[in-house]
Structure 1
Amino acid sequence: MFMACLLLIAGSLFQSTAQAQDGNPKIKVPNNPVILPAYLPDLRINSVKVNGIKADVEVWNRCKGDAPASRLRVELYAGSTKESGVYKIFEIDVPPIAGETKTTVTPDATSIGGIKYTFEGKYYRLSIDPHDKIKETVEGNNWFEKNSAPFPDSATSCEIVKPPPAAVALPDLRITKVTINGHKMFVEITNQCKGNAPANRLRLSLYGGPQKGSPGGEELEADVPAINAGAKATVTFDLIAYSSKFTTFGDKYYRLDVDSSDKVKEKIEDNNWWEKNAGPFPDPANECDKK
């Protein structure tokens, strides 16, 4: 009986503790945990000191990202010049190198299948990460030769390179219908692509007669509201409201230009016009999807 009571009390305490932790206002878990930027390493051979059959190779991880274990490839030439040709190639392990630190590895020429050979008086080429398995900030500076080495890297090459911003969908404004009723003109404007179009202006060039270029005309402008992708808007020119010298559109020739100041970046830039007897050619069906 006593043991049963103890078990009951312990169970109650455990349940109370669990409930307290579940509802404890002092224990806060962030809804959006901070993701720290992932820096990349950059491996570079800093120096080579030859000592008979061995060479001390200082490998420097010059950037902030940690470099995993890799390999060092050694190409030993038959003579003192590069023209003598490669005699033997072998590789050794390179341990992981923390960001902005160095390590020294020592290739031994006798590791070439037991053949006695030496670095002294021989041309050589060394390559760190020869199989290109490590993603680095600079990829072309992993080599070192007896008489040459890569150029120094720029001071900013270790900075995080931000990915290019995602391509922003562009709008495309096109006049799709014009209706005239006495002193009013109703202009339907369609945004036929996937980007939203900001507010802009619509220009009406109204000629004095039925022919294009007829003298005595005038120009009027109206505001065009912002138009979402795939949506339409209708803009009205009322000659009376504009105090125009004309009381009706009659048979007068006209030209309309949407985004008349060319301030809206569009997918297609040359289809924004409409004339009484002409209009742009239809746009290809897939034009809005082209990159």
Structure 2
Amino acid sequence: MAPRSALLGCGFLVILLAVVFPPLDAASQAINQELSDLFNELWKLDVNRMKPGTDYTISVQGKAGYVSQGSNHARDHASSPLFSNVNENKLKTITTFSRFMKLLDNYERSTGVAEHVSREEVTENNLFLDAVLNTEVMKRAHRYLVSKGHSQSDLRTFKRQLYTIWFDLYYRSGSKDSCGFEHVFVGETKFGNEIAGFHNWVQFYLQEKSRNLDYKGYKARDHDIPDQDDHVLNLQFSWHGLVKPVGSAFVGASPEFEMALYTIIFLANTHRSTTVVVNIDECQLEVVVVRHGRSIGTAYPKLLSSNNRHL
């Protein structure tokens, strides 16, 4: 078996990076210890997290080649899907996952096409937030935000705050065509030839199962060859005929964990783009959150190092 690299040492992420990031010296980055402690606490509280090798199995197969942004052609180095098995019973019976999945078909895929939210979809959004707010992960995140003066203790007020951040529509390409939830968790297309966002492992699995998505292979250096027990991957895929050269998301983590993480960073900062460096579960990573007015424009993790090794 090939030696484990900095990319393969984390036990909780699949990194599907939104762009190809240059190597960074993690040691030169300032660690946010307060958020590191908090996010590790949230990680331990995430009882709904799926377990690799038990709740899902991946098959990484071949190494994908270089594809430029906007190109719709990529050689396929994976003859089988990435996910060879997922415990769908858990996805359907764990409330946050099941309600999360109901939201994935509520959006127009192309930016520039106005979104129309029905009463039923508003209800689905609220039911999802109710489920998230009932988890220990989001309860702890809420207490932290209240302690810092970023949110009020009243749950109804906090829920409205979450709705604005994640579900309020905004203009991305000339019409009210997007929102934070759609971009981060569902994925969008832009300019007719690019995949934007798409940072969620459940959406990846479901789109792959529906044959809308074709996994093309992992992206890593020659000595970073992953295997099916590894939980950190760089990878390439096509979605509805468009290619994502390299993409980014947590894998196995619950929707409430991801939403809590990004919400905390969003509310704790007023900059248009915020990057924090944290240590979570022996991984050092950057978490990037970009603001779009009062809502999230995008959010994703970027792995810097694992087990004190650098990329």
Q: Which TM bucket (shorter chain)? A: under 0.3
- TM (norm. structure 1) is 0.17
- TM (norm. structure 2) is 0.16
| Larger Rg belongs to | 1
